[in-house]
Structure 1
Amino acid sequence: MADLLPAAEWTKREDLAQLVATLGADNIRWVGGAVRDTLLGSSVEDIDAATPLTPDLVIDRLKAAGISSVPTGIDHGTITAVLPGGHVEITTLRKDVSTDGRRATVAFASEWRDDAARRDFTINALYAHPETRVISDFFGGMEDLSDRRIRFIGDARERIREDHLRILRYFRFQARFGADLDREAEEACAELAETLKELSRERVAKELLSLLALPEPHATVTRMHKHGILPVILPETGKHELECLDALISAENAQNVAADPLRRLAALLPALSPVAETVASRLRLSRAQRERLSCVAARKPQDQYASRALAYRKGRECAVDRVLLAGGSLNKLSGWEIPEFPLKGGEIVARGIEAGPKIARIRYAVEDRWVEEQFPDRARVEAILDEELAQRNASET
């Protein structure tokens, strides 16, 4: 008996039925993550489809049916259908002509199996008929999905040589779905780890952060380190940093804090700002990501006791990161709004202090004490100012 795709809510969408009618039920198959995740009972966010129709024919049929489309990857045969319930990427069946580990030259194909053969893992090469929901499984993906095993299609080394990024994708998928380790896959990834150096840093960063965003990536990251994969892309990480990641994940879970890939990347780096700057530059991170990584890298053990001071000085995001990494509690930040320092320079001038650098020094001194005293009220700020002015007058006489 043929395997069937469960009748998940997304399979009942009216706009998808219109899309199927437009292209023809025999000319379209749901494929990839939507099929895999539905079989696992997981939520589906993105829907991909495959078709033997050429991109220009897909565009023509969509236009005739009044469906907008965007040529998001037309060089590789991908057209995005803009639908009310969510966009669908439609890609013409392909087969590889040549590959160099970074990009592939493809030709359009007419056979579903040819398209499946160029995909990375068996669990990603499952095709579902949009009406009958019958699943086409050419390489044992259903069994692998049942066993929670991530297995390359065909020879693992050949698949990796076609696209070196598949090493990182293997570990990400293994961390997300896997239970049983595939020995051939693990050995192939270890053997070809150095090929990761040929990839663009942006692609590496995207995969690494995607892995770190998963609920429990520590065991997988540790295995990547053991197999020599992590030292290629993140040589700064040692045993201590791996332990820091483990402790961070435990702290996140204990305090019900959402996983954050950049915070976890910071855990994998020594607490040194120059190192964070180097890694951020190498991975081509955004300016905001670089600044955050550098802020977290300046962490100290005593941060665990200074959550509000950190939030005031560095912002809530960096404070949360540093407190968690220091093993502290976030209770004092819950429901707490970062206050504004209530003392203006003009108020100091009104006390008889001549405008100039001295005003800033006095204001900073009062602010430091205000933060140290956990942000007392306005009356206490004025008292601190009186004390600072009296002390300075005494020292000047």
Structure 2
Amino acid sequence: MERMILPQAAWRRRDGLVELCDVLGAAEGKVRFVGGAVRDTLLGIDVADVDLATTHSPDRVIALLKGNGIKAVPTGLAHGTVTAVLTGGPVEVTTLRCDIATDGRHATVAFTDDWQEDAARRDFTMNALYADPLTGKIFDYFGGIDDLDARRVRFIGDPLKRIAEDHLRILRFFRFHARFGDTPDEAGLDACTERANDLMALSRERIAAELLRLLVAVHAVRVVDLMIDHAIFVPVLPEIESTRQLARLVSREAEAGIDPDPIRRLASLLPADTRVADDIGARLKLSKVERRRLVSAAEPVGDEPATVIDYRLGRELAIDRLLLSDRPEKDVTSLLAWESPALPLTGGALVERGLRKGPEVARTLRRIEEQWIAEGFPDPARVNQIADAATAQFLRASSSE
């Protein structure tokens, strides 16, 4: 399919974007849209982030922006990136680059005015598409449009060399395939398989970021299966051995109308063992909240009503456990219209009934709460009855000692 003109799309009319391109010299061909915005527009996908490439040096970009009243933030000057803060949202402006040294994790770059040289350093052909802001003309140096039409994620140049430049490209290959791909590119798959051990050189934060994004992609199950078959996880996450639970979770999320969640999906790939879950959370350097979710998801759900699980754990943890269990989907959907209540009783109310401040109030309050939960969260009138009985029992026991 011939597609050499970028379609009009809502993002192209964002406040300030036309003016920004004008300031950067769109009329002289000094700036172009690049990467995901071009790719996703051609695929008919909503665009979130807009990136620009320019022949101007970073210092010149800053000077042009400031001289025209546009806020400029030097977010990555070493790599040529300046963020223009517009009313329609931030836009990254990056000077054309070429790599002069790489070590698999970081690159040292030099600036250039050669558009094809800049394209050649990018990872996949579908990410190396540029478009003129004024005419919409697309510049495709490596067959990216054909690969988009074929739903093929293909490295630019020799896949082994591209992976040697940045080992994270192994995971990016699979993540992009999970989002856009149909049949995997054989050369790319072979290279990723051959170099899977390179993943051990990456920071665990970078691995986690790519993996979690992959897990919510539309073809996540199929692609994780592919990764397992080709031993991609073995060097860094050997615990991932099957997608059976992931496939089941994806189906249950859809049936319950619950959005995909990366931590929940990661939990479905792991053994139901809290120690393993905690170890992997630490290994991937997840946040404390994410680690807590991963560990909680490995716990058995039990047979308490869904509302009780929700009250004890909170909505997020409750939905994780329920979806990962054998409980019916209605247990999950029932929570979506239910607001977890608060116990309509305070420790002060027990003190007014004659209890002394301190541990005895806390213990009695817990007993009252447990009965309230067991009775299905009755109204305040019933809670007062439970409280009267509990405090009377405690006071009788205390007086007989």
TM, length-normalised to structure 1: 0.92
How far, CA to CA, are the matches of 1:376 and 1:11 in structure 2? 55
Q: Alpha carbons of 1:216 and 1:327: their partners in 2 closer, same or farther (altered >3 Å)?
A: farther
Contact 2:15 2:86 in 1 (8 A): no
Matched, 1:325 2:327: no
Partner of 1:184: 187
- In the TM superposition, what is the alpha-carbon distance from 1:307 to its structure 2 partner? 1.7
Partner of 1:335: 337
Matches within 5 A, 1:15-26: 15-25=16-26, 26=29
In structure 2, relative to structure 1, the CA distance for the partners of 1:331 and 1:44 (3 Å cut) is closer
Q: 1:349 to 1:51 in 2, by over 3 A?
A: closer
Q: Which deviations, in whole Å up to 9, do the C-alpha atoms of 1:222-262 show, x marking residues without a partner? A: 211221112333222233xx222111111110011111111
After TM superposition, the structure 1 stretch with the greater mean CA deviation from structure 2, 146-155 or 373-382, is: 373-382
The alignment-based identity, stated in percent, is 51
The range that moved more, 363-372 or 143-152, is: 363-372
Which consecutive unaligned segments of at least 5 residues does structure 1 have?
none
Q: Partner of 1:286 in structure 2?
A: 287
2:6 is paired with a residue whose SS is coil
2:67 matches 1:64 = yes
Deviations 1:282-318 (A, max 9, x none): 11112222222222222x1435x53211211111111
Q: One-letter code of the match for 2:382? A: R
- How far is 1:321 from its partner? 1.1
**Uncovered stretches (5+) of structure 2, i.e. residues with no partner:** none
**Matched letter for residue 166 of structure 1:** R
Q: CA RMSD in A?
A: 2.3
Q: Deviations over 1:350-371 (max 9, x none)?
A: 5555655444333322322221
Show the counterpart of 1:88: 91
Instruction: Give the secondary structure class of the aligned counterpart of 2:84.
Output: strand
Shift in Å, 1:197:
0.8
SS in 2 for 1:330: helix
Partner of 1:272: 273
Q: Given the superposition, is the C-alpha separation of residues 350 and 91 from structure 1 closer, same or farther in structure 2, using an over 3 Å criterion?
A: closer
User: Given that residues 3 and 145 in structure 2 are in contact (C-alpha distance below 8 angstroms), is that contact kept between their aligned partners in structure 1?
Assistant: no
Cα pair 2:355 2:391 within 8 Å, conserved: no
Change beyond 3 A, Cα 1:311–1:301:
closer
Does the aligned pair in 2 maintain the 1:244–1:268 contact within 8 Å? yes
CA distance in 2, matches of 1:352, 1:29: 76
Corresponding position of 2:144: 141
Match of 2:382 among 380, 383, 390: 380
Q: Distance in 2 between matches of 1:2 and 1:147?
A: 13
For residue 101 of structure 1, report the CA deviation from its aligned partner: 0.3
User: Following TM superposition, by how much is the alpha carbon of 1:13 offset from its aligned partner in structure 2, in angstroms?
Assistant: 4.4
Q: 1:134-186: CA deviations, max 9, x gaps?
A: 11111111100000000000111111110000011111100100112111111
Query: In the TM superposition, what is the alpha-carbon distance from 1:382 to its structure 2 partner?
Result: 4.1
Q: Counterparts of 1:244-263 in structure 2 under 5 Å?
A: 244-263=245-264
Q: Would the aligned equivalents of 2:98 and 2:117 in 1 still touch at CA under 8 Å?
A: yes
- Give yes or no for contact 1:101–1:164 (8 Å, CA) kept in 2: yes
Q: 2:100 aligned with 1:97, yes or no?
A: yes
